[in-house]
Amino acid sequence: MSSVKLEQISRKFIDVAALQQQRFTGIDDISFEIPDGEFWVLVGPSGCGKSTLLRIIAGLETATSGDIYIGDRLVNQVPARQRDVAMVFQNYALYPHMTVAENLSFGMQMRGINKSIIQQRIQDVAKSLKIDTLLDRKPKQLSGGQQQRVALGRAIARSPQVFLLDEPLSNLDAGLRENTRSELKQLHQQVGITTIYVTHDCVEAMTLADRIVVLDRGYIQQIGTPNEIYHHPTNQMVATFIGTPPMNIIPAIYHDRIWNIGDSKISCSSELATQLQLRNGQGLNLGIRPEYLTIVPNSTPDTLSLTVQTLETLGRETLLKAQINGTSTDLNLLAPPSTSGQFNDLPDKMLGKQLTIQLASEWLFIFDPSTGRRLFPPNT
């Protein structure tokens, strides 16, 4: 086991189309230190640079600049096979002509590990991953989930310093993905190997990580525990990327202690107006998570009026998308079972239904519409 430290890692790709549009391609100025034994998740939209960063740590890609340390060892010049890291990819990459047992032992044999130790490790790993009854099968005789467990087992059996996982669950169907995800978490608790896990799925990031690194367009947006990232996002990108359904963003125009939002008006406290030095006519983005919007029976001065666009019945709750009247802004709302009775109609009958909602103003975020920076609550 080992810590992993990145110091100002950059990788610039030459992409003519991107250069013409003055777009940067690659990753830039990435620095962080993962303490020994922690599980970190790199998350972000497609093309944000997650895989590039993981491949640089693995030694499969060379950084344009910056330093990488595994433990105390500077590994910039160390080839991949000597970095003592194990990588698991989305497509398993098992040897098709070998049995599960042979796939598990191959890496250890190549390192000249004693046969009886190899046998013991195969048994231990196979048991902990529940593949001990499959040791004589070939990969094509296994389901996708079983193949992915073998791939994980092969990596664990090597007892690497660092475990690198690139979207390892994305080929599995939803149910299997959820099971394998919680097994992976348990496995990490047992073996405690420093793990870096890449995904574009924010639920995986939230459920697996000790700490999450949110990337966008090659840059770090925020590093924090799942709770910090969810409750204290530093900008609009993080706020809307993490959370399902995502945080609602409501463009509003400020005027004399009032937020004007289409046909609705919401009051703004004088403390907030003073703190943010708000000017009449100023446009800002209000952010609020769906769980802090409540459907209320009557409109009052501080409510928003909406028109239902879509409705999904999830059983435990109903997910609604509704447009704020007088705007083109859609909001995500969650109607709990207590209020779901009023949404019992078939979804197409609900279309166009008028709703009134209240915002829990203590959970309101305010973002600068041009930079996406969080203005409120202020960074502490």
- Site residues for ligand ATP per CB under 6 A: 13, 15, 25-26, 44, 46-52, 200
E strand segments, 100-177? 162-166
> Considering beta carbons, is residue 52 or 264 the nearer one to ligand ATP?
52
Residue 15 CB, nearest approach to ligand ATP (Å): 5
Residue 26 CB, nearest approach to ligand ATP (Å): 5
Report yes or no: 129 and 114 within 8 Å, Cβ to Cβ. no
> Considering beta carbons, is residue 19 or 110 the nearer one to ligand ATP?
19
Residue 205 CB, nearest approach to ligand ATP (Å): 13
Phi, psi of 317 (to 5 degrees): -155, 170
Residue 335 CB, nearest approach to ligand ATP (Å): 33
> Considering beta carbons, is residue 15 or 29 the nearer one to ligand ATP?
15
> Considering beta carbons, is residue 13 or 95 the nearer one to ligand ATP?
13
> Considering beta carbons, is residue 49 or 224 the nearer one to ligand ATP?
49
Say how far apart CA 166 and CA 187 lie, in whole Å.
17
> Considering beta carbons, is residue 172 or 355 the nearer one to ligand ATP?
172
Residues 6+ apart with CB under 8 A from 62: 11, 56
Q: For residue 331, which of 269, 261, 283, 226 has the smallest C-alpha distance?
A: 261
Residue 167 CB, nearest approach to ligand ATP (Å): 7
Residue 25 CB, nearest approach to ligand ATP (Å): 5
Phi, psi of 28 (to 5 degrees): -135, 130
DSSP string, 24-64: --EEEEEEEEEPTT-EEEEE-STTSSHHHHHHHHHTSS--S
Burial of 186 (0-12, 13-18, 19+ CB in 10 A): exposed
